[in-house]
Amino acid sequence: MNAIIVSAILGVVMMFSGIFTKHKSTITLTAIAALFILLGANLLNSYGIFSIQVNTHELLYFNKLGLYFNTILIAATLIFVLLSGKEIENVGINTAEYYALIFFVLCGTTILTSFNGLLMLFLGIEIMSIPLYILTGAEKRNLKSNEASLKYFLMGAFSTGIMLMGIALLYGATGSFALSGQSVLPPSVGIPGASFLQAGGLILLFVSMCFKVSAAPFHFWTPDVYDGAPTVFTSFMATIVKAAGFFAFIKVFDANAALLGPSWKILLSIVIIATLFVGNITAVFQRSIKRMLAYSSIAQAGFMLFALYSYNDMAYQGILLYTVAYCLATIGFFAVLMKVKDYTFDGLNGLAAASPALAFAGTVFLLSLAGIPLTAGFFAKYYMLASVVKAGGALWIVIAAVLFAAVSVYYYFKVIQSMYFKEGQPELNEISTGFKVGVLLLAAVIITIGVLPSIVLNWLYF
């Protein structure tokens, strides 16, 4: 409960911070401080030292996993703000409001990590989404930003509608909004598993969740929105928000997946393969790195979906590890990218010569995204694949996945190529020493996790 309340309050605080100071940097500092507080609050909660007790009537419940995941998300946000605070200030004049919205989003993600029942799921997703519509449109004079925001909004609302219909059908079948996973059919009835109404509801729910985590064929909003949104918020959306969405997705179907019976795996395989296919293949021919990353984030989602394919311990460890690896790498790389004025591949030509630190860090992030061994990304993918193999059967889907991973190497390494092997003079924004140190530290963290993933996982079982 701590995180929800604190984030809400801090959101309000940030909102008002704009009144008291006109210095954007001060606002950023406030935000950083606030994030530290939030992180502290959540940690206190997760270690059970101090937590605000509220009777939520089983609408929310806080378990280690959720709190831990939430901690990851908040920490990621902290890193995000530390690295990209400058860019947030550059988006527009309403810096304070942007931070406020970010905190409201965090409130939403917290709900998504602790919801217990479809009502809170619905509220959490909305609380998370509505600020994002605005952040996407934050560059008011930029038509792309407007367009992205409107598209995001319309399609988001539509998917909400789908989700609600799903919830309604589920309610009709079961008479409750709990994530029961109980079949309403009496055992006497022939087919075990979900009744038709229930199944329809679950499928609609599944579709809307796929939409939220941008899994094909419900991913279409992602490239446009990520491309149009201010880059700094793209990095926020592509990482923290998406991860939260995934956690919710997994949580919803943890109990209910079984109800759909064998066809559940079929549906999921379709979605996984489609996602990997679309994400990787389309990313190959992008000219803008930003858009390429949008597609690659779709591809990464494809890998994360394996956690749903195989609900086992490795899947949960994997999704945690994946979230960490993916968030860190993506945030880091976006931070590097934002130092470059031109987001096309040629824009990065000769970056290695211009700023070795940036180029090196960027390379590490990309290697991690590509899942090269001895980076965090490798173990993330490794756990996902391993969980599937462990769950048994379906070696073909794993093989397909690794082939697509090979494709992903293609476009990630194209960036490395332009940074290292191509001649050019990239025009850069001014780069502070602190920033360099920051990205290098982040790279170091990624490599450390890559060598000893257990340090992340062991924390899970404190």
Partner 1 sequence: MIALLLLLIPLATGLICFGLKQGNAAKHFSLLASVATLILALVAVYTPTAIGYDTAWLSDLGSRFTLKMDGMGKMLCLLTAVVYPLIFTAVYRNEYKNASAFFGLMLLTQAGLMGVFLATDALLFYFFWELALIPVYFLCSLWGGEKRIAVTFKFFIYTFIGSLLMLVGLLYMYFQTADHSFSINSLYAVKLDAAHQSLLFWLFFVAFAIKMPIFPFHTWQPDAYEQSPTATTMVMSGVMVKMGIFAVIRWLIPMFPLATVQFSNTVIILSVIGMVYASLIAIRQDDIKRLIAYSSIAHIGLMSAAIFTNNSSALNGVMIQMFNHGINVIGLWIVADMIEKQLGTRKLSELGGLAQKAPAMAILLVMMALANIALPLTNAFVGEFLMFNGLFSYNIWIAAVAGISIILAAVYTLNMVQKIIYGNLSARTENAIDLPLNVKFALVIIALLVIVFGVFPQPMIELTKDSVTALFVKK
Partner 2 sequence: MSTIQILFFFLSTLAVFSSIMVLVSKNPVHSILWLITVFFAISGHYILLNAQFLAIVNLIVYAGAIMVLFLFVIMLMNLNAATEPRKNWWMKLTGVVSGGCFLMVLVSLVRQATEITGKNVLMKTGDIGLIKNLGKTLFSDFVVPFEISSVLFLSAMVGAVVIGKKD
Partner 3 sequence: MPIQYYIYFCLTLFTIGIIGVLTRRNAIIVFICVELMLNAVNLLLVAFSKMHHGAALAANPTTTVGIEAQLFVFFIMVVAAAEVSVGLAIIVMMYRNTHSVDINFLNRLKN
Interatomic CA distance for residues 82 and 235, integer angstroms: 13
Number of residues that bind partner 3 (CB under 8 A): 38
Token pair in block for residue 316: 């949960």
Token pair in block for residue 289: 């790195």
81 interacts with partner 2 by CB under 8 A:
no
Side chain identity, residue 116: N
Which residues on neighbouring strands pair with residue 219, listed in sequence order? none
Cβ nearer to partner 1, comparing 151 with 436: 436
Interatomic CA distance for residues 205 and 124, integer angstroms: 15
Within a 10 A sphere around the Cβ of 184, how many other Cβ atoms? 16
176 interacts with partner 1 by CB under 8 A:
no
Token pair in block for residue 220: 């279409």
Residues 400-439 touching partner 1, rule: CB under 8 A, are 402-403, 405-406, 409-410, 413, 417, 420-422
126 interacts with partner 3 by CB under 8 A:
yes
For residue 153, how far is the Cα from the chain centroid? 18
Q: Residue 60 phi/psi, 5° resolution?
A: -125, 145
Residues 107-166 touching partner 2, rule: CB under 8 A, are 107-108, 111, 119-120, 123, 126-127, 130-131, 133-134, 137-138, 140
Cβ nearer to partner 3, comparing 285 with 461: 285
157 interacts with partner 3 by CB under 8 A:
yes
153 interacts with partner 3 by CB under 8 A:
yes
444 interacts with partner 1 by CB under 8 A:
no
3-state SS, 228-271, equals: HCCHHHHHHHHHHHHHHHHHHHHHHHHHHHHHHCHHHHHHHHHH
User: Does 356 sit behind a cis peptide bond, omega within 30 degrees of 0 on the bond before it?
Assistant: no
Cβ nearer to partner 2, comparing 128 with 325: 128
Q: Which of 383, 353, 356, 354 is CA-nearest to residue 450?
A: 383
Residue 112 CB, nearest approach to partner 2 (Å): 12
Residues that bind partner 3 (CB under 8 A): 119, 122-123, 126, 130, 133-134, 137, 140-141, 143-144, 146-151, 153-154, 157-158, 160-161, 164-165, 167-169, 171-172, 175-177, 223-224, 227-228
Residues that bind partner 2 (CB under 8 A): 4, 8, 11-12, 15, 54, 56-57, 59-60, 92-94, 97-98, 100-101, 104, 107-108, 111, 119-120, 123, 126-127, 130-131, 133-134, 137-138, 140, 172-173, 184-185, 189, 195-200
